[in-house]
Amino acid sequence: MIKRGLAFITTIFIIMIIAGGLPVYAREGDGGYEGGISSGEAPGKTSFEYKEVCFITGEPVVFEGTLTVKKTLKQDKTTGKNVITSNYTYNLKNLEKDATLTRFLSYTLLLRKRGTVR
Protein backbone atom coordinates (compact mmCIF):
# COMPACT_ATOMS: atom_id res chain seq x y z
CA MET A 1 0.00 0.00 0.00
CA ILE A 2 2.79 2.41 0.91
CA LYS A 3 4.70 1.44 -2.26
CA ARG A 4 1.64 2.27 -4.40
CA GLY A 5 1.23 5.67 -2.79
CA LEU A 6 4.93 6.43 -3.19
CA ALA A 7 4.82 5.34 -6.85
CA PHE A 8 1.80 7.58 -7.46
CA ILE A 9 3.44 10.62 -5.87
CA THR A 10 6.67 9.98 -7.79
CA THR A 11 4.73 9.72 -11.07
CA ILE A 12 2.89 12.99 -10.43
CA PHE A 13 6.17 14.68 -9.50
CA ILE A 14 7.84 13.50 -12.73
CA ILE A 15 4.86 14.68 -14.83
CA MET A 16 5.01 18.11 -13.16
CA ILE A 17 8.73 18.43 -13.90
CA ILE A 18 8.28 17.45 -17.56
CA ALA A 19 5.20 19.64 -18.10
CA GLY A 20 6.80 22.59 -16.31
CA GLY A 21 9.57 22.72 -18.88
CA LEU A 22 7.24 22.93 -21.88
CA PRO A 23 6.76 26.39 -23.44
CA VAL A 24 3.32 27.98 -23.36
CA TYR A 25 2.29 30.02 -26.37
CA ALA A 26 -0.14 32.91 -26.11
CA ARG A 27 -0.88 35.95 -28.19
CA GLU A 28 -1.37 39.49 -27.03
CA GLY A 29 -4.92 40.64 -27.54
CA ASP A 30 -7.16 43.63 -27.15
CA GLY A 31 -9.47 43.18 -24.16
CA GLY A 32 -11.95 45.54 -25.76
CA TYR A 33 -14.67 47.59 -24.13
CA GLU A 34 -16.85 44.65 -23.12
CA GLY A 35 -13.98 42.75 -21.47
CA GLY A 36 -13.73 39.00 -21.40
CA ILE A 37 -11.20 36.91 -23.24
CA SER A 38 -9.79 38.38 -26.43
CA SER A 39 -9.25 36.36 -29.57
CA GLY A 40 -6.10 38.39 -30.18
CA GLU A 41 -7.29 39.57 -33.57
CA ALA A 42 -7.18 43.30 -34.17
CA PRO A 43 -8.67 44.22 -37.56
CA GLY A 44 -12.08 43.14 -38.77
CA LYS A 45 -15.81 43.40 -38.18
CA THR A 46 -17.78 41.04 -35.97
CA SER A 47 -21.44 40.95 -34.90
CA PHE A 48 -22.78 39.37 -31.74
CA GLU A 49 -26.19 38.78 -30.24
CA TYR A 50 -26.39 41.09 -27.22
CA LYS A 51 -28.77 41.52 -24.31
CA GLU A 52 -28.83 44.32 -21.75
CA VAL A 53 -31.08 45.20 -18.82
CA CYS A 54 -31.84 48.89 -18.17
CA PHE A 55 -33.51 50.36 -15.10
CA ILE A 56 -34.23 53.88 -16.41
CA THR A 57 -37.96 53.72 -15.54
CA GLY A 58 -37.32 52.07 -12.17
CA GLU A 59 -38.30 48.63 -13.43
CA PRO A 60 -36.06 46.28 -15.41
CA VAL A 61 -36.41 46.53 -19.20
CA VAL A 62 -34.59 43.88 -21.23
CA PHE A 63 -33.18 45.09 -24.55
CA GLU A 64 -32.03 42.54 -27.15
CA GLY A 65 -30.32 42.96 -30.48
CA THR A 66 -26.90 43.10 -32.04
CA LEU A 67 -23.53 44.45 -31.03
CA THR A 68 -21.24 45.11 -33.98
CA VAL A 69 -17.53 45.55 -33.30
CA LYS A 70 -15.39 46.97 -36.08
CA LYS A 71 -11.63 47.31 -35.60
CA THR A 72 -9.27 48.96 -38.03
CA LEU A 73 -5.48 48.90 -37.84
CA LYS A 74 -3.73 51.93 -39.35
CA GLN A 75 -0.38 53.63 -39.11
CA ASP A 76 -0.39 57.19 -37.75
CA LYS A 77 1.07 59.52 -40.41
CA THR A 78 2.73 61.89 -37.94
CA THR A 79 4.22 59.42 -35.43
CA GLY A 80 4.51 56.32 -37.62
CA LYS A 81 3.04 54.17 -34.82
CA ASN A 82 0.30 51.58 -35.29
CA VAL A 83 -3.15 52.60 -34.08
CA ILE A 84 -6.23 50.42 -33.61
CA THR A 85 -9.59 52.19 -33.79
CA SER A 86 -12.46 50.20 -32.28
CA ASN A 87 -16.10 51.06 -32.99
CA TYR A 88 -18.91 49.45 -31.00
CA THR A 89 -22.44 49.84 -32.39
CA TYR A 90 -25.37 48.65 -30.25
CA ASN A 91 -28.80 48.21 -31.90
CA LEU A 92 -31.20 46.95 -29.24
CA LYS A 93 -35.00 46.74 -28.96
CA ASN A 94 -37.74 45.72 -26.56
CA LEU A 95 -40.88 44.94 -28.58
CA GLU A 96 -43.16 44.63 -25.52
CA LYS A 97 -42.38 48.18 -24.35
CA ASP A 98 -41.91 49.55 -27.90
CA ALA A 99 -38.48 50.78 -26.78
CA THR A 100 -35.25 51.16 -28.72
CA LEU A 101 -31.71 51.61 -27.43
CA THR A 102 -28.91 52.60 -29.81
CA ARG A 103 -25.40 53.39 -28.73
CA PHE A 104 -22.13 54.08 -30.54
CA LEU A 105 -18.78 53.92 -28.80
CA SER A 106 -15.39 54.56 -30.36
CA TYR A 107 -11.93 54.40 -28.86
CA THR A 108 -8.38 54.47 -30.14
CA LEU A 109 -5.53 52.26 -29.00
CA LEU A 110 -1.87 53.18 -29.61
CA LEU A 111 0.33 50.10 -30.01
CA ARG A 112 3.86 50.16 -28.67
CA LYS A 113 6.54 47.61 -27.92
CA ARG A 114 6.70 46.31 -24.38
CA GLY A 115 9.14 48.24 -22.20
CA THR A 116 8.98 51.47 -24.22
CA VAL A 117 7.53 54.72 -22.98
CA ARG A 118 5.52 56.72 -25.48
For residue range 3-31, list pLDDT tens digits in order.
788 888 899 888 878 877 667 665 555 55
Q: What is the pLDDT of residues 55-78, one digit of tens each?
A: 988 999 999 999 888 888 898 888
| Residue that wins the pLDDT comparison between 49 and 1 | 49
Alpha-carbon torsion angle 43, 47, 53, 57, nearest 10: 90
Residue among 84, 88, 87 at smallest CA distance from 29:
84
For residue 50, CA distances in Å to 1, 2, 3, 4, 27 come to: 56, 56, 56, 53, 26
Tell me: pLDDT of 104 over 80: yes
Q: How sure is the predictor about 106, in pLDDT bands with cuts at 50, 70 and 90?
A: very high
The residues, ordered by sequence, that sit 6+ positions from 9 with a Cβ below 8 Å of its Cβ are: none
Residue among 42, 47, 44 at smallest CA distance from 109:
42
CB 111 within 8 A of CB 83: yes
The H or E element containing residue 103 is strand 99-110
Tell me: pLDDT of 90 over 60: yes
